[in-house]
Structure 1
Amino acid sequence: MNLRALVSVTGKPGLFKLIGQNKGGFILESLDSAKIKSVVNLNTTKMATLEDITIYGEEEEIRLLDVLEKIKAEEINVPDTKSNGDTLREFFRSVAPGHDESRVYTSDIKKIISWYNIIKEFPLFEEEAPAPIQ
């Protein structure tokens, strides 16, 4: 899974593809149907690549990429983000066993499901991640 160029921006819904950089910040393109391009100034906005995001675990943190791969590999019936909290939590227990249920909120689960629904059709989801530079 090669999701290196995909980022989440604090305060903005959805996911974005990092397409460039200028002196004002990073140039992002939304992954929704609108394909809106915007510039994000890192001095005032936080953003994180999907590869860097982790989920609170009871013993150790769980990589978001591992959760997304498990959803994809098992072809699990992904619940709708409007499902009740119990349904969402039960689903998340199956794809992220050992997550810290007191610190991973229903809103976090909804966000992860919505991200999965956005990226599941993209070719990046099928590509292998490049090997780390040593």
Structure 2
Amino acid sequence: MLKTILSVSGKPGLYRLLSQGKNTLIVESLQTKQRIPILPKDRVVSLGDISMFTDTEDIALSEVLKRVHEKQNGTAFPDEVLKDNETLRTLFAEILPSYDRERVYTSDIKKLFTWYNILSGAGITNFEEEATADN
């Protein structure tokens, strides 16, 4: 599921990949449902390709989002939490105790929690990777 959800540098929010042309991607905002073209000059990252640093090995974003979903019981983070750096770090340490405190910045945690709010608001709560669905 996360392979088709994209983050586009310079554009707020998350986007669902709808189609792919020769030189463009057509995406739809998960928040506004507006469709826009993404050009080759835009930096695009699939959420399925992102991982978080831990003290041992990197952990896939899908696994982190699953843990966030369990911790939050499917509810979004309040805005107050997203504004307080100390609360962000404390809450993230409860979700992923082994995260690398030197390489994971507060801005990364805030982005993760914001993305979680966007995904859950769009009804996306299955963060399983496609490869694990074969079992």
Smaller-chain TM-score range? 0.7 to 0.9
Partner SS for 1:7: strand
Shift in CA distance, 54/128, structure 1 to aligned 2, threshold 3 Å: closer
1:128 deviates by: 5.3
Does residue 98 in structure 1 map to residue 95 in structure 2? Answer: no
- Larger % of helix: which? 2
Distance 2:125 2:35 in 1: 21
Distance 1:51 1:122 in 2: 17
Shift in CA distance, 126/63, structure 1 to aligned 2, threshold 3 Å: closer
TM-score (structure 2 length as normaliser): 0.82
Distance 1:127 1:101 in 2: 24
Does residue 114 in structure 1 map to residue 114 in structure 2? Answer: yes
Q: Alpha carbon RMSD of aligned pairs, Å? A: 2.3
Identity of aligned residues (%): 36
Shift in CA distance, 21/108, structure 1 to aligned 2, threshold 3 Å: same
Number of corresponding residues = 129
- Preserved CA contact (<8 Å) 1:8 1:16: yes
Partner of 1:41: 39
Q: Mark the runs of 5 or more structure 2 residues left unpaired by the alignment.
A: none
Per-residue CA deviations over 1:96-131 (Å, capped at 9, x if unaligned) read 221111111111111111110011144442375433
Higher mean displacement: 69-78 or 122-131 = 122-131
- Preserved CA contact (<8 Å) 2:62 2:127: no
- Preserved CA contact (<8 Å) 2:71 2:95: no
1:29 deviates by: 0.8
- Preserved CA contact (<8 Å) 2:30 2:122: no
